[in-house]
Structure 1
Amino acid sequence: MTDFGAIDALLAGAKKEVALPSAEERRALREELSLSRAQLAQALGVSPSTVGGWESGRDPSGEVREKYVYFLEGAKAKLAAEAAETAEAAEEAPAEEAEDEARADAEQAAGQDDDVDVLATPEPCVLCGQMARHQVAGFTQHLDPADCNLAGPAQTSEPAAPEKRAPRPKPRRAAPSGRQGQAGRGVKVVPVGRRMQTADTPDLIGSAVTAVLAEHGGDVEAATKALVKRAIPDAMALLDHTRKGGRYDIVAHPWLPDVLRKQSSRGADQIWEARPKWARPELPAGEHEVTALDINGAYLSALKTHLPLGQLEHSTGGHHDRRRAGVHLITAPAWDHDDYLPNPVGSRDEPDPLWVTEPTLRLLLRISGPKYGLCDPPEIHESWTSGATEGLLEKFRVALKDARDRAITEDDEVTLEYVKAMYSKFVSTLGESNYNRELYRTDWMHIIRSQAFANLWWKAHRAYDEGLMVVRAMGTDELHVIGDWRAVFDEGRGVTEVKLKDVYTVGTPEMRDEPAD
């Protein structure tokens, strides 16, 4: 006899697999919520590379598929709700503004402004002599010019007195400045990068290139050499120009502690910049195509970093004040991920404790936090710091970046080499250098370099987090990966993009069994 109960149970438990959105939509949903693959992987109980595979076209199965579908549907619902709220707010704003204007007009018509009074008995208008019901600043007159007959005053027992003409009522709302161009000469502005600036703002970089090219009769090679030679003083002049009106004063020649002084004439100081020189110790069996990527404008991007403003002050203890920046003596945490990610402290043989810069310390504190949990927090023993800001060189950096972008767009190699020399030599001569006497900040030099190394580490982590295999990381701008890197990084010459440097093969093809003779 057929077991109908077993059939019913089978039918009740049977489920049709829910269709998954396309791989592109899966990734887009996650990124629109600003979630990393590592965060999603942790919630689903899988590895980040597994999530990367799903976002490349592979489909999950079983219980984890149900969890993944639940996340994707929830993400769609959340984004749809946020979009609806944004659209509703956009619709309500014009309506509220119209209501406010109508209310203001009604109040003015009703005589509720501070300078307008409603008369119980009409009196002659001081402008036209006809009867009016309102007073403005103590003078009777019509609020609506259409009601005011200026052709001639009406005959009344008391003639109107033109000499007592009242001032016109003040407008309810001042006209926007953009509508006042006809009344007076405006200020001409031009686009520069993402920003606008007055048209008469001097273009120090463009003027220098034009002048030197003219001086060398259009000889590109000679002009480039001349511009590179004057890159340091020109960079200092540009810095001074961008610092006009700045909120902070720079201490250009502060007293420096011994840790920032060279131990001998040809020696180095005690600061460890965490320069990476890492290679993956082992690859999976088989043959692999490796892509070497070049990170554009590494030192230019690193100008955006927390720099100390004044003279460094000494402190002890393990507290880190994010409002200050400098150098710190730390015991670095153990690093257990060297098989697939470089050590954020760099490749070193030096024992702990060691002096590191602000970017290295902030990197360690961030990846030791709950979001990443890659290591223990570093132990801080003592510090030399000063009040700091991340935007100290921001205008300087943007001016160089905009000039670099224009040079790339216009295929202007002279300007490109000149700008590159300006920011690279600016960084390299901040320390004990005879070439830059205007700014002597060894701490800045180390901090900016370390920021470039920290930026490269984050590029390596992003590659790993997005499912690429990181093979090598070196210096400030070289990253070797295996996988579809164009799905992770934008290709180009911009400072937020990467360039293809080399493609090579490592490993050997898997051996196949040969037929016996």
Structure 2
Amino acid sequence: MSDFDAIDSLLAAVGPEAGLPSPQVRQELRERARLSKAQVARALGVSPSTVAGWESGRDPVGEMRTKYAYLLDGLAAKFATDTAPVTPPAAEPAVAQPPAAAESPPASPAPEEGGEGDEVEVLAVPEPCVLCGGMARTRVAGFAQHLDPAGCQAAAAAPDKPTAPPSPPETAPARKPSSHASRTTTRPSERSRGPARRAFQEPSGPVDLIAQAVQAALAEHHGDVEAATAALLKRAIPDAMRLLDETRKGARYDVIAHPWIPDILKKQTSRGADQIWEARPKWTRRELPPGAHEVTALDINGAYLSALKTHLPLGQLEHSAGLPHDRRRAGVHLITPPVWEHEQVLPNPIGNRDEPGPLWVTEPTLRLLLRLSGPKYALCAPPEIHESYTSGATENLLEKFRIALKDARDTAIEQGDEVTLEYVKAMYSKFVSTMGESNYNRELYRPDWMHIIRSQAFANLWLKALKAHDEGLMVVRVMGTDELHVTGDWRGVFPEGRGVTEVKVKDTYTAGAGTAGHTGTEGEGEEG
């Protein structure tokens, strides 16, 4: 490129920004053209959830804004000269079915993502489906939905068809998320056809995406491991979002990616924190029995990766007060925690908190306290719930995403592939840390998810401390997401290794009378 070409490029970049129509018009133009968000995303080189964000009010910038404006201008010009009536678009298919699968008879409806908090309820009185607005006779994860996508497609293809009478006043219908909230591309999947019931219909699966990215980076940098790793770490966030979109294909739920957020989940100052307490443990046993003790500092592998399996709210959070805990919903809760009387041998489940009184906690912290107050453990009184912000939830929302990362991680460990190992670690750790108020990930704004996943990691660590205590080990320290210090035969309690269900030795030291002690570390990082 000559100097004048470079100057021309700069002048072009400084020109006025391309104009964009309103978000509603953007969506109408796409739907009138019978284009899916996935088709638009592929043409522009972005993810479908990015397109969803543009249709909810966010604006692209730079060259991407110019490309998007060019597409919308072209659609508007086409329809300005096209006076023929346009057939309303059918619902977007979640994933293209292979010809053989398409010819197979549909299997009977059954939950695709099972697990606690994901039950299908049969409604005595139909309620509006959150996806198409038609009347549905089933509710999943707190939302009325058609289990058979043909029901949604039929309703979308005939929007003027009168629906069934609304529910009587005594039956509260499931709320449809507000129209301004953007969604990811997940639609109710077509029921799995035939006996195979495969989650992914494309020849390349999520793990292949990870392997292909690593191979491409190594090829681009001529086998330079350090340069390839650095390049992969820089693109970990967009690659994680692409992987999420891939693993959400065939899922039955729409997920609101940019919902309205209550003030308690917003930062109080530009550099401050919000009001959510994550219950991060930072505890050291005050007194040890007489004598010297050999202590092993254990490192919990892939703490955030394991924490992706947690109850996450699907839709916009809704406020409630004075209601008991509903296990089918998840969110954040204002509670008065119970008195903890076991501080000498186990940390407080809500972490180190000096101020008494109510505080906002996440779903994992509340569920942990309720579990510990139950008859199995009876370690404390139940927490008092004052108010909550919750939505219908499922524990398996990110399960396919988690398994894809775990499988890639396991393979990398087996093959001694440190490039893939660092890449996978960056994908899941940055995915968690940037879904709040971050400039690095604008495709997903769920600070409630961020707090819930982090708190789940802390709750998982606390439960490992409880297991160690119950198995006769002495718990000496519990720190951060992944650090557990114990004395005794820990190998009889925890398997050793690098897998996510295993632990590895981080340090060993002697503590007790006549020893210098050990300060240790706080386990801030996430191991690969």
2:415 equivalent in structure 1: 410
Deviations 1:2-47 (A, max 9, x none): xxxxxxxxxxxxxxxxxxxxxxxxxxxxxxxxxxxxxxxxxxxxxx
Change (3 A) 1:411 1:279: same
Which amino acid is 2:408 matched to? A
Q: Distance in 2 between matches of 1:196 and 1:287?
A: 56
After TM superposition, list the pairs within 5 Å mapping 1:377-416 onto structure 2: 377-416=382-421
Separation in 2, partners of 1:356, 1:199: 42
Whether 2:320 is the aligned partner of 1:337: answer no
The equivalent residue for 2:324 is: 319
1:507 deviates by: 1.9
What corresponds to 1:505 in structure 2? 510
| Structure 2 runs not aligned, ≥5 long | 1-193, 516-528
After superposition, residues 84-163 of structure 1 pair within 5 angstroms as none
Q: Is 1:201 aligned to 2:205, yes or no?
A: yes
Residue 249 (structure 1) shift: 1.0
User: Is the CA contact (8 Å cut-off) linking 1:296 and 1:499 kept in structure 2?
Assistant: yes
Partner of 1:371: 376
State how 1:410-429 maps to structure 2 within 5 Å.
Answer: 410-429=415-434
CA deviations on 1:68-102 (whole Å, 9 max, x unpaired) are xxxxxxxxxxxxxxxxxxxxxxxxxxxxxxxxxxx
Aligned equivalents of 1:509, 1:412: Cα separation in 2: 44
Q: Which amino acid aligns with 2:205?
A: T
1:438 counterpart residue number: 443
| Pairwise CA RMSD | 1.8
Aligned length: 320
Structure number with greater Rg is 1
SS of 2:458's equivalent in the other structure is: helix
3-state DSSP of counterpart to 1:290: strand
Aligned-residue offset at 1:351: 2.5
Unaligned runs of 5+ in 1: 1-176, 179-186, 190-194, 511-517
Q: Give 1:451's match in structure 2, choosing from 421, 446, 456.
A: 456
Report the CA distance between 1:508 and its aligned residue.
3.5
1:250-265 equivalences in 2 (<5 Å): 250-265=255-270
Aligned to 1:18: none
**C-alpha offsets along residues 251-287 of structure 1, whole Å, 9 cap, x if unaligned?**
0000000100111101110000000000101000001
CA–CA separation in structure 2 for the residues paired with 1:210 and 1:376: 54
In structure 1, what is the Cα distance between the partners aligned to 2:336 and 2:323? 11
1:346 aligned residue (338, 351, 358):
351
Where 2:256 maps in the other structure, the secondary structure is coil
Distance in structure 2 (CA, Å) of the matches to 1:325 and 1:201:
30
* Aligned residues of 2:258 and 2:446 also touching (Cα < 8 A): yes
1:234 and 1:349 map into 2 onto residues whose CA distance is 40
Deviation at 1:472, TM superposition (A): 0.3
8 Å CA contact 1:318, 1:379 repeated in 2: no
Secondary structure class of the residue paired with 1:252: strand
Amino acid at match of 1:487: G
Structure 1 residues 408 and 348: alpha-carbon distance in aligned structure 2, compared to 1, 3 A threshold: same
Alignment partner of 2:225 out of 220, 239, 255: 220
Distance 1:496 1:472 in 2: 20
Q: Which one of 322, 328, 333 corresponds to residue 333 of structure 2?
A: 328
**What is the identity, as a one-letter code, of the residue corresponding to 2:429?**
S
In the TM superposition, 1:17-36 aligns within 5 A as none
Q: Is the 8 A contact 2:277 2:362 kept in 1?
A: yes
- Identical pairs, percent: 79
1-side partners of 2:271 and 2:453: how far apart? Answer: 22
How far off is 1:443 after superposition? 0.2
Q: Secondary structure at the match of 1:212?
A: helix
Match of 2:521 in 1: none
How far apart, in 1, do the equivalents of 2:514 and 2:421 lie?
Answer: 43
Compare 349-358 and 234-243 and name the one that shifted more.
Answer: 349-358
- 1:277 matched residue in structure 2: 282
What SS does structure 1 have at the residue aligned with 2:368?
A: helix
Q: CA offset at residue 350 of structure 1? A: 2.8
1:288 is paired with a residue whose SS is strand
2:309 to 304, 308, 317: 304
Partner Cα separation in structure 2 for residue 457 and residue 509 of structure 1: 29
2:470 aligned residue (465, 469, 492): 465
Report the Cα distance in structure 1 between the residues aligned to 2:217 and 2:497, rounded to whole angstroms: 29
State the Cα distance separating 1:196 from its structure 2 match.
10
CA distance in 2, matches of 1:508, 1:371: 36
TM-score w.r.t. the length of structure 2 is 0.59
Say if 2:200 and 2:249, in contact at 8 Å, map to a contact too: no
Matched, 1:488 2:497: no
For the structure 1 residues 350 and 413, does the alpha-carbon distance in structure 2 shift closer, same or farther, using more than 3 Å as the test?
A: same
Corresponding residue SS for 2:409: helix
Q: What's the counterpart of residue 240 of structure 1? A: 245
Which of residues 474, 481, 498 in structure 2 aligns to 1:476?
481
Q: Residues 196 and 291 (structure 1 numbering): CA distance in 2 closer, same or farther, change over 3 Å?
A: farther
